C-alpha cells in the first residue's frame, strides 16, 4: 500500500512525532513523554438476540487492577498496569512493554440490565455479557405508512 493512502507512515510524519516526543520530554520531563504512550485496549462490541457482548484485550493485567463501570449506556473500563521493578546486572537495551493507567469508554448500542452483567477476565481478555432490557428486545415493530 502506498504512503499516499496512509500519510502518517511517511518518514516526515515519523520524524515529526519523534521531534514532538523529544520536545515534550525536554519541557515537561520524561514522565510526560511516557504519558503520551498510553495504552488503550482494543474493544469489540457485538449484539445477540438477548445480550450485548463486549470483549476487551487487556494483556498483562491483574483482574484486581481493573475497574469496570456502567453509567447509563456508557461502559467504562479503567485499569493500571504496573511496572515490575527488578534489579538486574544486565544492561537493558529496549523496553517495549507499556505501563501506566488507561481509560476506555464505549456507548452501548442497547440498554442493558446493569445488575445482571457477567464479567470474566481470562488470558488477557475481559469478557462482559450484558442482558438487554426486555423492552429493548421487542422495540422493533412494523409501522404502516398511509
Question: Tens digits of per-residue pLDDT, 65-76?
Answer: 899 999 989 999
List all residues 6 or more positions away from 53 whose beta carbon is below 8 Å from its beta carbon.
44, 45, 46, 47, 127, 128, 129, 130
Q: What share of the chain is helix, strand, coil (3-state, %, to 5)?
A: 25, 35, 40
What is the tens place of the pLDDT at every residue in 83-134? 655 556 566 666 556 667 788 899 999 899 999 999 999 999 999 999 998 7
List all residues 6 or more positions away from 75 whose beta carbon is below 8 Å from its beta carbon.
54, 68, 69, 105, 106, 107, 108, 128
Q: What's the CA gap between 76 and 41, in Å, rounded?
A: 12
For position 81, what pLDDT does the model report? 73
Question: What 3-state DSSP class applies to 63?
Answer: helix
Question: What 3-state DSSP class applies to 66?
Answer: strand
What's the grid cell of residue 51?
Answer: 445480550
Q: What is the pTM of this model?
A: 0.63
Angle at 68 (CA atoms; ends 53, 80), nearest 5 degrees: 120
Amino acid at each position: 500500500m502506498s504512503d499516499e493512502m496512509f500519510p502518517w507512515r511517511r518518514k516526515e510524519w515519523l520524524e515529526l512525532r519523534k521531534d514532538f516526543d523529544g520536545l515534550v520530554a525536554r519541557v515537561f520531563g520524561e514522565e510526560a513523554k511516557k504519558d503520551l504512550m498510553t495504552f488503550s485496549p482494543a474493544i469489540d462490541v457485538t449484539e445477540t438476540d438477548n445480550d450485548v457482548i463486549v470483549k476487551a484485550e487487556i494483556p498483562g493485567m491483574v483482574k484486581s487492577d481493573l475497574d469496570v463501570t456502567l453509567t447509563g449506556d456508557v461502559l467504562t473500563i479503567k485499569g493500571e498496569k504496573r511496572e515490575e521493578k527488578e534489579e538486574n546486572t544486565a544492561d537493558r537495551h529496549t523496553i517495549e512493554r507499556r505501563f501506566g493507567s488507561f481509560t476506555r469508554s464505549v456507548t452501548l448500542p442497547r440498554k442493558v440490565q446493569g445488575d445482571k452483567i457477567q464479567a470474566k477476565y481470562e488470558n488477557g481478555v475481559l469478557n462482559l455479557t450484558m442482558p438487554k432490557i426486555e423492552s429493548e428486545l421487542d422495540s422493533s415493530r412494523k409501522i404502516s405508512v398511509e
